[in-house]
């Protein structure tokens, strides 16, 4: 019976874990010479920080021609602008290459958020430290 409670505890912890438990970012690789970046800035960039999506994926702008900050050097393969890379706790979740309009962008952001949610649901919390963790099924 104790194992049932432990499994139920783990399931409930994962099922109700908030999606923004970590430091998730939407890296926006841009160029000042990019017409599509300018279009994104006008159509989406001006309102992005006011959306519910921004509460999960904080926007971080990265000039593709400047030195890449050391904490995101591991993001490889960004060639075209705009490129949007969703990163959660340093791990790439997915990316959007290009900008085909605001509807295109928001559909892809929704897909990235769903991917984040799925990846977080695969996280198993640490075993409770009750002195019997060697007897627990998942520990």
**pLDDT tens digits, one per residue of 79-114:** 999 999 999 988 999 999 999 999 999 999 999 999
Q: Which residues pair with 97 in a beta bridge?
A: 83
136 belongs to a structural domain: no
89 belongs to a structural domain: yes
Average pLDDT, integer, range 59-77 = 95
Cα angle 74-125-122, degrees, rounded to a multiple of 5: 60
Q: Is 51 helix (H, G, I), strand (E, B) or coil?
A: coil
**CATH number for position 105:** 3.40.30.10
24 belongs to a structural domain: yes
Mean predicted lDDT score pLDDT of the chain: 80
Report the C-alpha gap between 76 and 104 in whole angstroms.
23
DSSP state, 10? H
42 belongs to a structural domain: yes
126 belongs to a structural domain: no
Report the C-alpha gap between 24 and 80 in whole angstroms.
22
Based on the structure, what is the number of domains in the chain? 1
Q: Which domain holds residue 102?
A: 15-121
Tokens of 22: 């970590």
21 has a pLDDT exceeding 50: no
What's residue 126's pLDDT? Answer: 53
74 belongs to a structural domain: yes
What's residue 19's pLDDT? Answer: 40
30 belongs to a structural domain: yes
1 belongs to a structural domain: no
Report the C-alpha gap between 120 and 75 in whole angstroms.
20
């Amino acid at each position: 019976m104790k194992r049932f409670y432990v499994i139920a505890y783990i399931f409930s912890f994962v099922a109700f874990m908030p999606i923004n438990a970590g430091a998730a970012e939407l890296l926006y690789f841009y160029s000042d010479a990019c017409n599509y970046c300018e279009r994104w800035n006008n159509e989406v960039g001006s309102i992005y920080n006011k959306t519910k999506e921004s509460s999960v994926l904080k926007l971080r702008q990265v000039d593709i021609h400047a030195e890449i900050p050391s904490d995101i050097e591991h993001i490889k393969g960004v060639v075209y602008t705009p490129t949007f890379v969703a990163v959660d706790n340093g791990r790439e979740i997915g990316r959007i290459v290009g900008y085909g309009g605001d509807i295109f962008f928001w559909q892809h952001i929704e897909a990235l958020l769903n991917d984040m949610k799925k990846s977080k649901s695969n996280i198993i919390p640490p075993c409770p430290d009750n002195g019997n963790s060697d007897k627990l099924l998942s520990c």
